[in-house]
């Protein structure tokens, strides 16, 4: 049995943020029914395509373990089908542009009328306020949530990160809200609205920078490199390059081969409790007792010099050799792993964090599996559905429509053609 077995999700999500949330729910065992527009479906099916006529990796990697029904929810008979689904599902998840669900005729009040136990979970770009009506994508959220202003180097542009903290990050937040609401419903019997704004999600992940903003009002941020470099602070948290976000100074340092390999680097942390071990490893035993180096406070203005010395040592070895030596002495570090290295990593394959998935049109592809492991609810990653693959199955089994009713829906154009492969 799976943790969320018996929970049925009406998945009205598209692109990335919403689908990451419903994919997690599916991995935890919920029956996730993805409602898509006939003909086109989720726009990502056709974006960044690498194999002609196959659903893109963008789509397949975000929609595992779901069923797909095609339904024109603006058509009167399509709306009637959606109403029946609302009555039979536990949770509706959506990330349409603000107001789209209301325009379709499914306001919170209407959904409550149809099913007072339904949880309606929404992702929007912004919460209530001046920007509430804006459409938002990943990088907009990174820029407006505090990530971009605090990422990059002091003398460069604000930077967005490769980690999709706006989309996938908010999907995670929403997922937690949904399971929490499901838990509360076991006591109240009532549904509720669950909202996660992408700006809020990014700001939550940038919490430490808001911490530093307040510390800045009381003096310079001594653990930032610019302090040691004698550069004055302005009135807001600066970009801090690869400085550690916490109290243990860290940097990315070159390893052997960095001239040719863009990822021959390691993140090195000068954690205070292992300072003596660091001094031994890099061949500076005198720094253990020298008052200029012996305490964290004394080291702060000298971090550039200290990391330059450590880098002299890291450059003599490749990143994995550095890691082996440091790990054996409990010194925290992180080699910069490329996507190629991660894709090929046998330990990630063994835990199911990287999985190979079989798809009838595209063949075998790699995906990230469920990063959250439950001992009593293991995840089996199943391929994403083809567009409308389960339309007939859902109409007949979940809604108990007979063949004539389904034929009428097909004639009216409210449901699309079933996917070719499914039909075969």
- Residues 28, 96, 224, 268: which binds ligand COA (CB under 6 A)? 96
The minimum distance between CB 125 and ligand COA, in angstroms, equals: 5
Residue whose beta carbon is closest to ligand COA: 97
What is the DSSP code (8-state) at residue 237?
Answer: P
If one asks whether residue 106 binds ligand COA (CB under 6 A), the answer comes out as no
The minimum distance between CB 240 and ligand COA, in angstroms, equals: 28
If one asks whether residue 103 binds ligand COA (CB under 6 A), the answer comes out as yes
If one asks whether residue 100 binds ligand COA (CB under 6 A), the answer comes out as yes
The answer to whether the CB of 146 falls within 8 A of the CB of 203 is: yes
What is the DSSP code (8-state) at residue 233?
Answer: P
Q: Candidates 97-105, 237-245, 265-273, 317-325 — which segment interacts with ligand COA by CB under 6 A? A: 97-105
How many other CB atoms sit within 10 Å of the CB of residue 33? 25
Tell me the Cα Rg of the chain.
26
Phi, psi of 414 (to 5 degrees): -70, -25
CB-wise, 60 or 318, nearer to ligand COA? 60
If one asks whether residue 299 binds ligand COA (CB under 6 A), the answer comes out as no
Binding string, residues 26-45; x marks residues near ligand COA by CB under 6 A: ---------xxx--------
User: How far apart, in whole angstroms, are the C-alpha atoms of residue 142 and residue 164?
Assistant: 9
Task: Kindly state the tokens that stand for 137.
Answer: 């994508």
Q: Which residues contact 76 (CB under 8 A, 6 or more apart)?
A: none
If one asks whether residue 137 binds ligand COA (CB under 6 A), the answer comes out as yes
CB-wise, 3 or 43, nearer to ligand COA? 43
Task: Kindly state the tokens that stand for 87.
Answer: 């009555």
If one asks whether residue 233 binds ligand COA (CB under 6 A), the answer comes out as no
In the set 167, 243, 260, 324, the catalytic residue is 167
User: How far apart, in whole angstroms, are the C-alpha atoms of residue 92 and residue 109?
Assistant: 14
Binding string, residues 311-330; x marks residues near ligand COA by CB under 6 A: --------------------
Say how many residues touch ligand COA, by CB under 6 A. Answer: 24
If one asks whether residue 104 binds ligand COA (CB under 6 A), the answer comes out as yes
If one asks whether residue 136 binds ligand COA (CB under 6 A), the answer comes out as yes
If one asks whether residue 56 binds ligand COA (CB under 6 A), the answer comes out as no
User: How far apart, in whole angstroms, are the C-alpha atoms of residue 271 and residue 274?
Assistant: 6
Q: Candidates 16-24, 209-217, 336-344, 400-408 — which segment interacts with ligand COA by CB under 6 A? A: 16-24
If one asks whether residue 95 binds ligand COA (CB under 6 A), the answer comes out as yes
CA atoms within 13 A on the CB side of 204: 13
- Nearest-5° angle of CA 134, CA 122, CA 177? 135
Task: Kindly state the tokens that stand for 128.
Answer: 């209530």
What is the DSSP code (8-state) at residue 45?
Answer: G
- Nearest-5° angle of CA 341, CA 346, CA 347? 105
If one asks whether residue 127 binds ligand COA (CB under 6 A), the answer comes out as no
Binding string, residues 58-77; x marks residues near ligand COA by CB under 6 A: -------------xxxx---
Q: Which helix (H) or strand (E) holds 304?
A: helix 303-314
Is 167 a residue of the active site?
Answer: yes
Burial call 48-81: b when 16+ CB within 10 Å, e when fewer:
eeeeeebbbbbbbbbbbbbbbbbbbbebebbbeb
If one asks whether residue 381 binds ligand COA (CB under 6 A), the answer comes out as no
CB-wise, 162 or 262, nearer to ligand COA? 162
The minimum distance between CB 71 and ligand COA, in angstroms, equals: 5
The minimum distance between CB 97 and ligand COA, in angstroms, equals: 3
If one asks whether residue 111 binds ligand COA (CB under 6 A), the answer comes out as no
User: How far apart, in whole angstroms, are the C-alpha atoms of residue 93 and residue 11?
Assistant: 5
The minimum distance between CB 323 and ligand COA, in angstroms, equals: 35
User: How far apart, in whole angstroms, are the C-alpha atoms of residue 395 and residue 391?
Assistant: 6
- Residues 4, 10, 11, 17: which binds ligand COA (CB under 6 A)? 17
CB-wise, 202 or 310, nearer to ligand COA? 202
For strands 363-368 and 354-359, give the pairing. Answer: antiparallel
Among all residues, which ones are annotated catalytic? 167
Which residues are near ligand COA by CB under 6 A? 15-18, 35-37, 71-74, 95-97, 100, 103-104, 123-125, 135-137, 167
């Amino acid at each position: 049995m799976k943790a969320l077995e018996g929970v049925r999700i009406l998945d009205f999500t598209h692109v990335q943020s919403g689908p990451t949330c419903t994919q997690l729910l599916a991995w935890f065992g919920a029956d996730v029914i993805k409602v898509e527009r006939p003909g086109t479906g989720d726009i990502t099916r056709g974006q960044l395509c690498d194999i002609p006529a196959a659903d893109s990796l963008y789509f397949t990697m975000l929609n595992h373990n779901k069923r797909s029904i095609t339904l024109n929810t603006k058509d009167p008979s399509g709306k009637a089908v959606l109403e029946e689904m609302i009555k039979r599902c536990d949770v509706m998840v959506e990330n349409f542009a603000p107001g789209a669900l209301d325009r379709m005729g499914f306001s919170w009040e209407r959904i409550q009328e149809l099913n007072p136990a339904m949880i309606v979970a929404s992702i929007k770009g912004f919460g209530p306020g001046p920007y509430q009506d804006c459409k938002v994508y990943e990088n907009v959220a990174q820029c407006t949530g505090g990530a971009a202003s605090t990422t990059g180097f002091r003398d460069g542009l604000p930077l967005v990160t490769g980690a999709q903290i706006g989309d996938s990050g908010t999907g995670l937040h929403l997922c937690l809200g949904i399971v929490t609401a499901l838990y509360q419903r076991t006591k109240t019997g009532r549904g509720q609205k669950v909202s996660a704004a992408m700006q809020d999600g990014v700001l939550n992940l940038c919490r430490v920078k808001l911490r530093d903003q307040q510390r800045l009002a009381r003096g310079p941020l001594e653990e930032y490199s610019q302090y040691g470099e004698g550069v004055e602070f302005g009135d807001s948290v600066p970009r801090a390059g690869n400085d550690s976000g916490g109290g243990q100074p860290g940097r990315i340092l070159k390893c052997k081969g960095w001239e040719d390999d863009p990822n021959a680097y390691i993140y090195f942390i000068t954690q205070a409790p292992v300072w003596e071990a660091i001094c031994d490893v890099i061949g500076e035993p005198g720094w253990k007792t020298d008052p200029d180096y012996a305490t964290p406070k004394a080291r702060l203005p000298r971090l550039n010099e200290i990391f330059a010395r450590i880098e002299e040592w890291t450059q003599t070895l490749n990143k994995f050799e550095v890691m082996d030596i440091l790990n054996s002495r409990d010194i925290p570090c992180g080699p910069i792993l490329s996507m190629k290295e991660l894709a090929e990593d046998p330990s990630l394959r063994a835990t199911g964090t990287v999985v190979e998935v079989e798809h009838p049109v595209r063949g075998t592809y790699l995906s990230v599996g469920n990063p959250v492991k439950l001992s009593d609810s293991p995840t089996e990653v199943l391929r994403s559905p083809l567009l409308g693959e389960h339309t007939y199955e859902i109409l007949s089994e979940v809604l108990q429509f007979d063949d004539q009713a389904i034929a009428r829906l097909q004639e009216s154009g409210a449901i699309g053609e079933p996917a070719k492969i499914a039909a075969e």
